[in-house]
Amino acid sequence: MRRLSKQFGANQILNSVSFEVADGEFCILLGPSGCGKSTVLRLIAGLEQPTGGSIVIDGRPVDHLAPRDRDIAFVFQSYALYPHMTVFENLAFSLRLRGASTVEIESKVRDAARLLEIDALLGRRPQELSGGQRQRVALGRAIVRQPKIFLFDEPLSNLDAALRATMRLELARLHRRLGATIVYVTHDQAEALTLGDKIIVLHQGTIQQIGSASEIYHKPANISVARFVGSPQMNLLEGRMDENGKFFQSKGLRLDLSAVFERPLPRLAGHVLTLGIRAEDLHPTSDQQGWLNGEVELVEDLGSDRFVHLKCADLDLVARAGREVALHQGETLGFKVTPNQIHFFEDGRHIEP
C-alpha cells in the first residue's frame, strides 16, 4: 500500500500508511485498540474506500476493483459462519458461487478439512462446534478459495488462552505448508512476535516501525513501540545525563551508566533522556551493593519466570529473578543490569549511546 489515508468525517484515522508485503510473507499489523488496524484490512479488501493513496497487488492498482474481484479472503474475528449450513456447506459455499464442479468442490473441501483436522466434523452445524473448531472452519473457508492474499482480523481473540496458544502454532504451521501471503491484525504482542515474518506497529493511524520480531523487540524505534511490545512492559526512566556522560540522574536516583557500558557515554552528556530497561535485563544480585538497590514490593510467580516489582527511590521497576534467589517482600536487594542492555530515547525516539 502506498501513502494510504482514511478519514471518517473530520477524523483522520490513517495517516499516509505505506508498507509492502512480499509474496508468501506473514505480515502482522500490531497496535492498540482503535489505532486503525481493521480499517487497513478493510481498505485492502475493498470494503472501504481510501481518502488518499493507492493499493497495489502484483504490480496492479486495485483501487477500482470491487471486493469480490480482488482475490482476497477475509477471516473475521467473529468467524461469520453460516449457522444453518453444515461445516461441509460452509466450506463449499464460495466454490459453489464460483460455479465449481461437484468433483472439484468435494476434493477441495476434503483437502482443507484434512489439513485443519476437521474431517470428522463436516456433517455438523456451527452451533455444534467448540470455539477452536469454528475457528478452523473459518480458516478452511478461506483456504478452499486459494486466494492471493489472506486477511485475518484478530482471529484468535475469542479463544481461551490455551486454545489461542495451540491455534497460534497451527497458524504458523499452516502458513509454512501453504506458503500463503497473510496480513494479520492483532493487538496481542505475543501473537505478533511468534507469528510475524514482518511486524508493522501502528499507533493512532501512523506507522511507528516496520521490522522483524527481533528488531521490534530489541530495537524499538520509539517509546510508543517500546511501551507496547514486551511483557512486562519495559522499565522507562526519565532523567538527565551528567556532564561527564557517566551518571544518569532520575527522580532521586544516580545510576552509573559507565559501569553498564564499561565506558563513559560522552555523546549523551547533558542530554535529557528516557532510559529503557527490560525486566529480563534487570536481575537481583547477591552483592549487598547492586547497580541499584530496591525494595521488593511484590513477587509475581509465573512458574517459569518470576517478576519482582520493586520500589527504588521514587521509581517503580520490574526485574526478573531466577528460581535460585530467595525473595522476601519488604526486603531491600541489589540489582544489576545485563551489560550494554539499556535503551536510550531522546524526544521519544531511539538513539544510540
Ligand X SMILES: Nc1ncnc2c1ncn2[C@@H]1O[C@H](COP(=O)(O)OP(=O)(O)OP(=O)(O)O)[C@@H](O)[C@H]1O
Contact window for ligand X (CB under 6 A) among 37-45, 222-230, 268-276, 331-339:
37-45
Subset of residues 145 to 204 that bind ligand X, contact rule: CB under 6 A? 187
Contact window for ligand X (CB under 6 A) among 32-40, 216-224, 303-311, 344-352:
32-40
Q: How many residues bind ligand X (CB under 6 A)?
A: 11
> In this complex, which beta carbon is closest to ligand X, that of residue 15 or of residue 233?
15
Question: Could you give the 3-state DSSP secondary structure of residue 19?
Answer: coil
Residue 343 touches which of Mg ion, ligand X, none (CB < 5 to 8 A by kind)? none
Q: Which of 18, 20, 24, 34 binds ligand X (CB under 6 A)?
A: 34
**What one-character DSSP code corresponds to residue 126?**
G
252: exposed, middle or buried (C-beta count within 10 Å: 0-12, 13-18, 19+)?
A: exposed
User: Does 50 participate in binding ligand X (rule CB under 6 A)?
Assistant: no
Question: Could you give the 3-state DSSP secondary structure of residue 7?
Answer: strand
> In this complex, which beta carbon is closest to Mg ion, that of residue 167 or of residue 185?
185
User: Does 101 participate in binding ligand X (rule CB under 6 A)?
Assistant: no
CB 46 to ligand X: min, Å:
15
> In this complex, which beta carbon is closest to Mg ion, that of residue 122 or of residue 200?
200
Residue position matching grid coordinates 519482582: 308
- State the DSSP string of 175-195: HHHHT-EEEEEES-HHHHHHH
What are the DSSP E strand ranges found in 242-291? 247-250, 253-256, 272-277, 282-285
**What one-character DSSP code corresponds to residue 155?**
T
31: exposed, middle or buried (C-beta count within 10 Å: 0-12, 13-18, 19+)?
A: buried
CB 187 to ligand X: min, Å:
5
In sequence order, the 6+-apart residues with CB closer than 8 A to the CB of 180 are 24, 150, 174
User: Does 186 participate in binding Mg ion (rule CB under 5 A)?
Assistant: no
CB 155 to Mg ion: min, Å:
11
Q: Which residues pair with 349 in a beta bridge?
A: 222, 346
Q: How far is CA 288 from the centre of its chain?
A: 39
Interface pattern 163-182 for Mg ion (x via CB under 5 A): --------------------
Residue 35 touches which of Mg ion, ligand X, none (CB < 5 to 8 A by kind)? ligand X
Q: Which residue is nearest to Mg ion (CB)?
A: 38
- Pairwise CA distance, residues 242 & 240, whole Å: 6
> In this complex, which beta carbon is closest to ligand X, that of residue 33 or of residue 49?
33
Q: Which of 21, 39, 90, 112 binds ligand X (CB under 6 A)?
A: 39
Q: Which of 13, 91, 213, 237 binds ligand X (CB under 6 A)?
A: 13
User: Does 127 participate in binding ligand X (rule CB under 6 A)?
Assistant: no
Q: Give the phi and the psi of residue 192 in degrees, each rounded to 5.
A: -60, -45
Q: Where are the alpha helices (DSSP H) in 116-183?
A: 131-143, 161-178
Residue of 338, 348, 344 whose CA lies nearest to 219: 344
CB 190 to Mg ion: min, Å:
18
Contact window for ligand X (CB under 6 A) among 15-23, 27-35, 213-221, 296-304:
27-35
Q: Which of 4, 17, 38, 333 binds ligand X (CB under 6 A)?
A: 38
Residues that bind Mg ion (CB under 5 A): 38
Residues lying near ligand X in the complex (CB under 6 A)? 8, 13, 31, 33-39, 187
